[in-house]
Amino acid sequence: MDIKTLTTPLSEEAVASLNVGDFVLLSGMIVTGRDRVHKYLFSELPLPDEIPFELEGAVLYHCGPIVRREDAGYRLIAGGPTTSQRVEMYEWRIIKEYGLRGIIGKGGMGEKTLQAMKEAGCVYLHTISGAAVYLADRIKRVVDGWKVEEFGAPEAMWLMEVEDFPAIVTMDASGNSLHKGVAEKSMGVYKELLGGGA
Amino acid sequence: MLKLKDGIVELYRKVATSLPSDVENELKKAYAAEEEGIAKEAMGVVLENISLARKTSRPICQDTGVPTFFIRVPRQLSQEEVRSIITAATREATEKVPLRPNAVDILTDRNSGDNTGRNIPVIYFEETGEHVLTIDLMLKGSGCENAGQTYKLPAEEIGAQRDLDGVRKCVIDAVFKAQGRGCPPYTLGVGIGATKDQVSVLAKRQLLKRIDERTGDERIIALQARLLDELNRLGIGPLGFGGKTTVIGLNIDYNHRHPASYFVDVSVCCWANRRGRLVWG
């Protein structure tokens, strides 16, 4: 299997060279964000300088980690992906407003996000669902957190440094989606199994 | 009762950091069945993650779920007392294992930070004539919890009438709708009966059974076997990448129903089907 290596922040060219089915290893800084972060960014649209981390060219990881607070800072215990579809109503605006180049998550996203990715130059990187320990071992450190008290640790935005973090491109910047393909294929079998009921 | 608390903290650790052998065996079979490609690669990482979590005593998945207890309590033991021990054990386990704090207040949106809150953990008690206390703990991630569905039959949109074939269609519909969003290969629990609340709990209880359990009415066993084959024909595959194994097992149970009602609930569980039992006394 061919492996492509990527380093954040991602350029438009790097994103454009990725295709559905590519296996990638990502290194550099990434930020996390899930339900609360998306609702907040979408509704309040804070200015980039009100957010402590750079989002231009950034990769946003849909993840609510287990983080332990220690004297020296934060330690990550487990950090796999959360279901991306829940932020489908928000993501298109966040990609466009803040200039994200990559989304890491699981389960894929819908048409609105696919369209925004095509227009703005962004890809969806599907990592290994549930592999929280394996992935935590590829997160070198938690640098800092934003909204930790207000949103709670699982919902905060965390800045993390990753090394050789594995993912598969399942939605690319040309409008292709592996998830659409799987759904269409299963639709045929589904209709057959329901015997014309659907 | 201090020792019971310690036992429950240990149960939390065991359930969060390791999978039951029947589940792990089915996942190994799923890995072996896939052809070379991203689904097989992904299953390889899933298996490595399981062994790494066990070895290093860290939670398999960062989503340690809504702690859900199914308890068989002897007559002489107070449920209130057991509940308060569970609450204390939950606080301690959240800190020690650690678990992810998952209890969020509806009105303030504040996370309690220790997995306790209004009716959290979820506890179902059943009184028995036995002399031992039996505690089953389920830590089910909410990605798959969100993938569950409840049906009222007849459901014309899926051609489901009030019979076992209608139930079959509900289960196929639920998995089709879930696609890869709830972390397949899935284990399913299905409950059939008279009321919406009853079938949801019945479906969830099925997830406590061994996934290879084949007891009960032969019509139900036959339906389970047929569904396992049909669901895997959907081709959603490991993690939704497309492939041979979408579901590794399912259990169905039923209650009597009302003439006007025929409810079916499908509880979807991710590959990290975490459950464990403590027998006390």
This complex has an ipTM of: 0.95
In angstroms, the separation between the Cα of residue B213 and the nearest Cα of chain A is: 25
DSSP string, A117-168: HHHHT-EEEE--TT-HHHHHTTEEEEEEEESHHHH-GGGSEEEEEEEEEEEE
Nearest to B242 among A128, A166, A182 (CB): A182
The pLDDT value recorded for residue A132 is: 98
As a whole number of angstroms, the distance between CA B263 and CA B170 comes to 10
As a whole number, mean pLDDT of residues A154-176 equals 98
CATH code of the domain covering residue A139: 3.20.130.10
As a whole number, mean pLDDT of residues A155-177 equals 98
Q: Which chain B residue shows the shortest CA-CA distance from A195?
A: B159
- A198 found inside a domain: no
- Is A197 a residue whose pLDDT tops 50? no
Residue B250 β-bridge partners: B188
- A118 found inside a domain: yes
- The set of residues, in sequence order, having a beta carbon less than 8 Å from that of A30 and lying 6+ positions away, is A8, A58, A59, A60, A61, A104, A159, A160, A161, A162, A165
Which residues of chain B does A83 touch, with a Cβ-Cβ cutoff of 8 Å?
143, 146, 181-182
Instruction: Using the Cα atoms of residue B146, residue A69, residue B58 and residue A105 in order, give the sign of their dihedral.
Output: positive
List all residues of chain A from 176 to 195 with a beta carbon under 8 Å from chain B.
Answer: 178-179, 181-183, 185-187, 189-190, 193-195
- The set of residues, in sequence order, having a beta carbon less than 8 Å from that of B17 and lying 6+ positions away, is B53, B54, B57, B58, B59, B60, B97
The pLDDT value recorded for residue B215 is: 85
Of B136, B95, B91, B139, residue with least CA distance to B115? B91
Residue A196: which pLDDT band, with cuts at 50, 70 and 90? low
Instruction: Using the Cα atoms of residue B199, residue B205, residue B149 and residue B188 in order, give the sign of their dihedral.
Output: negative
Cα of first residue to Cα of last residue in chain B, in angstroms, is 11
Q: Which chain B residue shows the shortest CA-CA distance from A78?
A: B62
At residue B220, φ and ψ (nearest 5 deg) are -70, -45
The pLDDT value recorded for residue A2 is: 82
Domains held by chain A: number: 1
For residue B88, the surrounding DSSP H or E stretch is helix B79-96
Which range marks the domain in which residue A84 is found? 3-193
Q: Distance from CA of residue A67 to its chain's centroid?
A: 18
As a whole number, mean pLDDT of residues A28-39 equals 98
Q: Which residues of chain B have pLDDT under 50?
A: none
In angstroms, the separation between the Cα of residue A32 and the nearest Cα of chain B is: 14
List Cα–Cα distances, A74 to A22, A65, B141, B210, in angstroms: 32, 11, 24, 38
In angstroms, the separation between the Cα of residue A100 and the nearest Cα of chain B is: 22
- A113 found inside a domain: yes
The verdict on a CB contact (< 8 Å) between B100 and A185 is: no
The verdict on a CB contact (< 8 Å) between A186 and B58 is: no
A152 at interface of B, judged by CB pairs closer than 8 A: yes
Residue A149: which pLDDT band, with cuts at 50, 70 and 90? very high
The verdict on a CB contact (< 8 Å) between A182 and B41 is: no
The model's pLDDT over A53-73, given as tens digits with 9 standing for 90+, comes to 999 999 999 999 999 999 989
Active-site option among A38, A62, A126, A179: A38
Q: Which of A19-28, A35-44, B58-67, B205-214 has the lowest mean pLDDT?
A: B205-214
Nearest to B60 among A82, A130, A190 (CB): A130
- A85 found inside a domain: yes
> Does residue A38 have an active-site annotation?
yes
Q: Which chain B residue shows the shortest CA-CA distance from A150?
A: B110
As a whole number of angstroms, the distance between CA A9 and CA A54 comes to 9
Residue A187 β-bridge partners: none
Nearest to A132 among B62, B111, B233 (CB): B62
Number of separate helices (H) and strands (E) present in chain A: 7, 9
Q: Which chain A residue shows the shortest CA-CA distance from B109?
A: A151
The pLDDT value recorded for residue B265 is: 98
Q: Is A55 left (phi over 0), alpha (psi -120 to 50) or beta?
A: alpha
Q: How many CB pairs under 8 A join A and B?
A: 178
- The set of residues, in sequence order, having a beta carbon less than 8 Å from that of A100 and lying 6+ positions away, is A55, A57, A58, A59, A60, A94, A120, A122
Tokens 């180049």 correspond to what residue? A101
The pLDDT value recorded for residue B213 is: 87
Task: Count Cβ neighbours within 10 Å for each residue of A84-93 and write b for 16 or more, e otherwise.
Answer: bbbbeebbbb
